[in-house]
């Protein structure tokens, strides 16, 4: 266990230096593996190459570039404006309604993008001008966008859920279905958080204008392709019509058709740019995956997973006690590492312990993603907070962190509910064909 802890300490120290996590895990994992084999670098390099080849050839991971491509096509269709207009038509006339509209728009965009950072960046550009027009408090405005962006990794299709499914060897389709109710729960809690803020400080979010009936209907009809795409993907998986990988292909094709319908992707340059965007994101993500797999091999060889099993047995921890301990560790790591890195570093370490205690791994995967969401909006390194700050550099970082506080509390409430009532996550899974 000591060797593994030293490896984590080195990884943590180098992370604070600002080095990329993917390359860090690759280097530390390679060096640690060589050390355990009496500095046999040939064995370490062989392990690394084999791990990269096997991981890169994994059929389960093929769903990632397809869903990322779907997200790129949707983003280029400018659907975010339509989603916000539809949400505003529903909620905008109420006090705090613009902020609640932002939550709904983030949920809709997350349902077809699967990316928290893309959701946060896009909705900052779309929603902030409207909220500033009605003199919303910048803390509430930026906070609700940063928090709403986290819905991108819970509401399916979700890249972190795919990665968890591959690492834990769980059915990705079941994980997607399991994320639906927790995602809706988070939407409700975020909207309630907005309500609490504007009741305490009415000046933070003034009511908007009520749209005429015909404009509301037009706004609702403009988002039918997104609703249809979401229903086809999840409905097909739920009914067993197609696999998650096939759903990703169908989703990417449907998103491209929608973009063409909206007058986009009409030139070769637009297609090339879209494919390059998807490839760059995929490449960056796979570097993190490769590095984490190499690091996980080093951790396994150090004996840490077996030591943890023995430690849990000696401490007489219950399964729930172990899960809560993992949650605390992930919340602390979330202040430093990004979502995918946490999943790839933590899940392989605790997986043997969880399996030995018969913990439902579908439910645990949803818990992990919810905990990782917290890391995206908590200091000192909340990735979504920094994304909003990058798009709106005139807003102080401290103000954004203050603005996300009510939503951090909402996330914690959702976590407690999910721990107390596992059926929130696994209820729909039990009804799958």
Phi, psi of 191 (to 5 degrees): -65, -35
Diameter of the chain measured on Cα atoms: 75
Q: Identify the pLDDT of residue 291.
A: 82
Q: What single DSSP character describes residue 169? A: T
Which residues lie closer than 8 Å to 404 by C-beta, 6 or more apart?
A: 143, 146, 147, 377, 378, 382, 385
Q: Identify the pLDDT of residue 197.
A: 92
Residue 46 CA: distances (Å) to CA of 52, 127, 345? 10, 50, 21
Q: Identify the pLDDT of residue 1.
A: 65
Q: What single DSSP character describes residue 209? A: P
Q: What single DSSP character describes residue 380? A: S
Residue 171 CB neighbours (<10 A):
19
Which residues lie closer than 8 Å to 366 by C-beta, 6 or more apart?
A: 154, 175, 178, 179, 182, 418, 425
Which residues lie closer than 8 Å to 100 by C-beta, 6 or more apart?
A: 87, 91, 94, 191, 194, 195
Packing angle, helices 97-113 and 116-133, rounded to 10 = 160
Q: Identify the pLDDT of residue 411.
A: 92
DSSP letters of 390-412? HH-TTS-HHHHHHHHHHHHHHHH
Let me know the angle formed at the C-alpha of 408 by 16 and 113, rounded to the nearest 5 degrees.
80
Pairwise CA distance, residues 265 & 269, whole Å: 8
For CA atoms 29, 369, 359, 316, give the dihedral sign: positive
Phi, psi of 58 (to 5 degrees): -65, 125
Residue 133 CA: distances (Å) to CA of 54, 98, 128, 130, 209? 52, 11, 8, 5, 12
Nearest one of 323, 285, 63 to 176, comparing CA atoms: 63
Cβ(20)–Cβ(315) below 8 Å: no
Pairwise CA distance, residues 373 & 376, whole Å: 5
Show the tokens assigned to 175. 């994980």
Low-confidence residues of the chain: pLDDT under 50: none
Pairwise CA distance, residues 74 & 256, whole Å: 8
Q: pLDDT tens across 167-224, in order?
A: 888 888 899 899 989 999 999 999 999 999 998 888 887 877 788 888 888 888 888 8
Helices (H), 239-267: 244-261
Q: Identify the pLDDT of residue 364.
A: 94
Show the tokens assigned to 358. 């018969």
Which residues lie closer than 8 Å to 216 by C-beta, 6 or more apart?
A: 89, 90
DSSP letters of 55-113? HHT-SGGGHHHHHHHHHHHHHHTTHHHHHHHHHHHHHTTSTTHHHHHHHHHHHHHHHHH
Q: How many residues does the chain have?
A: 433
Residue 333 CB neighbours (<10 A):
20
Q: What single DSSP character describes residue 203? A: G
The model carries a pTM of 0.83
Pairwise CA distance, residues 7 & 291, whole Å: 13
Show the tokens assigned to 328. 């605390």
Packing angle, helices 339-356 and 319-334, rounded to 10 = 170
Pairwise CA distance, residues 5 & 345, whole Å: 12
Q: Identify the pLDDT of residue 432.
A: 67
Q: Identify the pLDDT of residue 416.
A: 94
């Amino acid at each position: 266990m000591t060797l593994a802890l030293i490896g984590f300490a080195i990884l943590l120290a180098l992370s604070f230096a600002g080095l990329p996590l993917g390359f860090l895990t690759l280097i530390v994992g390679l060096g640690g593996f060589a050390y355990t084999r009496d500095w046999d670098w040939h064995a370490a390099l062989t392990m690394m190459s084999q791990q990269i080849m096997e991981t890169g050839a994994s059929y389960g991971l093929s769903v990632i570039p397809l869903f990322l491509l779907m997200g790129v096509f949707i983003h280029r269709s400018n659907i975010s404006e339509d989603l916000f207009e539809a949400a505003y038509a529903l909620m905008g006339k109420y006090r705090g309604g613009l902020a609640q509209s932002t939550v709904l728009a983030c949920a809709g965009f997350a349902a077809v993008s699967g990316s928290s950072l893309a959701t946060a960046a896009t909705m900052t550009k779309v929603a902030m001008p409207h909220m500033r027009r009605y003199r919303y408090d910048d803390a509430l405005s930026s906070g609700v966008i940063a928090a709403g962006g986290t819905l991108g990794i819970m509401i399916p299709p979700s890249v972190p859920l795919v990665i968890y499914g591959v690492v834990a060897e769980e059915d990705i389709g079941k994980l997607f279905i399991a994320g639906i109710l927790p995602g809706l729960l988070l939407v409700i809690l975020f909207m309630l958080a907005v309500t609490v803020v504007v009741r305490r400080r009415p000046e933070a979010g003034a009511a908007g204008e009520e749209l005429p009936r015909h404009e509301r209907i037009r706004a609702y009809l403009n988002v039918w392709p997104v609703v249809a795409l979401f229903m086809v993907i999840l409905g097909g998986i739920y009914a067993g019509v197609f696999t998650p990988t096939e759903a990703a292909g169908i989703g990417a094709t449907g998103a491209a058709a929608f973009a063409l319908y909206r007058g986009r992707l009409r030139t070769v340059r637009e297609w090339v740019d879209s494919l390059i965007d998807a490839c760059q994101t995929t490449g960056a993500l796979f570097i993190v995956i490769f590095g984490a797999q190499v690091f996980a091999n080093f951790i396994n060889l150090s004996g840490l997973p077996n030591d943890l099993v023995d430690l849990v047995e000696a401490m007489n921890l219950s399964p729930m006690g172990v899960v809560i301990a993992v949650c605390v560790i992930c919340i602390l790591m979330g202040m430093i590492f990004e979502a995918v890195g946490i999943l790839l570093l933590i899940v392989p370490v605790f997986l043997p312990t969880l399996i030995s205690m018969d913990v439902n791994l579908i439910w645990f995967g949803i818990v992990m993603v919810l905990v990782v969401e917290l890391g995206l909006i908590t200091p000192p390194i909340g990735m979504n907070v920094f994304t909003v700050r990058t798009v709106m550099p005139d807003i102080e970082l401290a103000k954004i962190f203050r603005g996300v506080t009510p939503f951090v509390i909402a996330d914690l409430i959702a976590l407690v509910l999910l721990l107390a009532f596992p059926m929130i996550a696994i209820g729909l899974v039990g009804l799958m064909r």
